[in-house]
Structure 1
C-alpha cells in the first residue's frame, strides 16, 4: 500500500500523520497502528482520565439502538440542514471538511453526510471520541468516514483545517475548536435546554432539577444564531425506555427500583435542545 495523507496530526508532536501499510506514522517516527475496523487510537495515556474512558459498550449499544429507531431524527435533520446551508456559503465547495468532536457511534455524522451528499456537495468527514467502544462501532459501520480515539481537549487535527465542527453533549476546549476551524468556519453545538427529558427525570427523582445554561460567548467567535428545538418521543417498548435511560447519566445515579419502574411505565418524553451556531472570526 502506498503512503496516504490524512487529516490526522500526531498527538505526541503535532506533525502530520501518513498512513503506510495500516500504520500511521509521522516524521518523528511516532507510529499508531490502524485497528482492523479502520480507526486509529490517538489517545495518549496521560490524556486518559481512567483505564477505559468514555461510554462503555452497554451505553454505546443502547445509544445506537435508540437513535437508529429514529427517535432523535428531527434533531439530526435540523443539524443536517444547518450544515448544508452553511456549506452553500463556502467559496471553495470542492474542499469541504466536517469534524465531529465527540462523535459517539457515528449516527449524526452519517445523517449529515447523506443529507449533504443529496444536496450535491462533497465533503471529507472525520470524528473522534474518547470512548474506544464508540469509535470502534462507528468505524465498523461507516467506512467512508475517518475515526480516531482521542480527547476533545487535544484534537489530533492540523490548524485551520475544518469548515465545520459539530459538538453534541460533549465537553471540549474552545481554544482547540478555534485552532482547527478555517476562517469563518462553523462551530455547531447542541446542549440540553431547561426541560430536556423532564418526564424521565420526574420518574427517577423526587425533586428533579432543570438544566442550567452557563454558557458565554467563546473568545474568537461570533454567535450567528441560537435555536431551541423540542419534540415528543413516544416510548412504545421497554427496550426503547431502557436504551434511552442507558444513554443518560441518570442511569448511574437513580435507584434500581426507580429505573425498573421507569422501564415498565414511561410512555413519552419531551426533548429540549439548545442549538448554537458560532462562526470563527476571520
Structure 2
C-alpha cells in the first residue's frame, strides 16, 4: 500500500485509472514512463531544477560500474540492522535512481519503495531501471508523502529538510544520512583548487537522536579516462574549475581517488 499525498493539501492520493486524485479534487496524471510529477511551480526556482542531463548521465555511468557500491553496502547494512521487512522507504534525492533500484533489489521483499528527486530528467532515467518503484518528481521541502507513514528515509549526498523528515517518518522511524567528509575526492580538489578549505559539517547535522555515526573511507581505482571524467563531472567540483585550470582535464587517465564519507543513522522520536 502506498502513502502518496497531494503536494497542495497533503490529503492522501488515490489511484483513479491513470491518475492520482485527492479528496479535494487535485489530480496528477501518471506519465507514460510510469512516474508521477508532484512538483508544484512554487516549489521550483527554475523551469528545469536539479542536476542537468550531462551530470546525471555521468552519474549513471559511474554508479553502474560499481565504483560506489561500497557506499551502497554500508547503507544496506544500516537498513537491515535497524529496520525490518516490509518497510515504507523513501530514497530522498534519488537522482537517476541507481541506489533506489539497488536497495529494492537487495532487500528483495514486499517493502514499498519511493524514489524522489526534483530533476524530472533524473526521474525519467530512473524509470528505466524498474517500474516497480514509486518514482516521483518532487521537492524535499514539500515531500508528497502522508504524515508519519514512512519507516525509513535514505538520503545520500542530498539536501534534506528536517521538518519534512520529522513529518513523514513514523514515531521512532529512521533516516540514514550519507554526507561527504572534508577529504572526500580530495585528489580532484588538489587538481582544481588553489587551496583546500576544511569546513565544519555542523550545518548538515540533523536535530534528531543519533543512533550510530561512523566514517567510511576507501580508495577506488578509476580504470579509464572516461571513468575519471564521469566521476568528476557528476560532482559540483567540475563546474568550479577555473579557465586557467581546464587543461588538467586533458591530463586525466587512470586515477586513484579517495571516498571519505560519514554515515549517520538518526531516529525520530
TM-score bucket of the superposed structures, by smaller chain: over 0.9
Q: Is the 8 A contact 1:193 1:211 kept in 2?
A: no
Matched, 1:54 2:50: yes
Matched, 1:254 2:241: yes
Matched, 1:28 2:24: yes
TM-score, normalised by the number of residues in structure 1: 0.90
TM-score, normalised by the number of residues in structure 2: 0.94
Residues 84 and 133 of structure 1: is their aligned pair in 2 closer, same or farther, counting only changes over 3 Å? same
2:107 aligned residue (108, 113, 116): 116
Matching of residues 1-282 of structure 1 within 5 Å: 6-88=2-84, 93=85, 95-117=86-108, 121-215=109-203, 218-219=206-207, 221-256=208-243, 258-262=245-249, 264-265=251-252, 267-281=255-269
Q: Secondary structure at the match of 1:159?
A: coil
CA distance in 2, matches of 1:274, 1:72: 14
Q: Is the 8 A contact 2:2 2:112 kept in 1?
A: no
CA distance in 2, matches of 1:244, 1:17: 38
Q: Kindly provide the CA deviation profile for residues 78-123 of structure 1, in whole angstroms up to 9, marking residues without a partner as x.
A: 10111011124xxxx4x42110111111111222222222xxx431
CA distance in 2, matches of 1:139, 1:191: 25
Q: Kindly provide the CA deviation profile for residues 46-90 of structure 1, in whole angstroms up to 9, marking residues without a partner as x.
A: 1101111000111111100000001101000110111011124xx
Q: Kindly provide the CA deviation profile for residues 129-183 of structure 1, in whole angstroms up to 9, marking residues without a partner as x.
A: 0011111111232211111110001100001111100111111210110111111
What is the CA distance between 1:212 and its match in structure 2?
Answer: 2.8
- Structure 2 regions of 5+ residues with no counterpart? none
CA distance in 1, matches of 2:194, 2:156: 28
Q: Is the 8 A contact 1:139 1:146 kept in 2?
A: no
Residues 100 and 216 of structure 1: is their aligned pair in 2 closer, same or farther, counting only changes over 3 Å? closer
What is the CA distance between 1:214 and its match in structure 2?
Answer: 1.6
Equivalent residue pairs, number = 268
CA distance in 2, matches of 1:187, 1:49: 26
Q: Secondary structure at the match of 2:128?
A: helix
Q: Is the 8 A contact 1:14 1:156 kept in 2?
A: yes
What is the CA distance between 1:205 and its match in structure 2?
Answer: 1.4
Across the aligned residues of Structure 1 and Structure 2, the Cα RMSD in angstroms comes to 1.7
What is the CA distance between 1:259 and its match in structure 2?
Answer: 4.1
- Structure 1 regions of 5+ residues with no counterpart? none
CA distance in 1, matches of 2:227, 2:251: 11
What is the CA distance between 1:21 and its match in structure 2?
Answer: 2.1
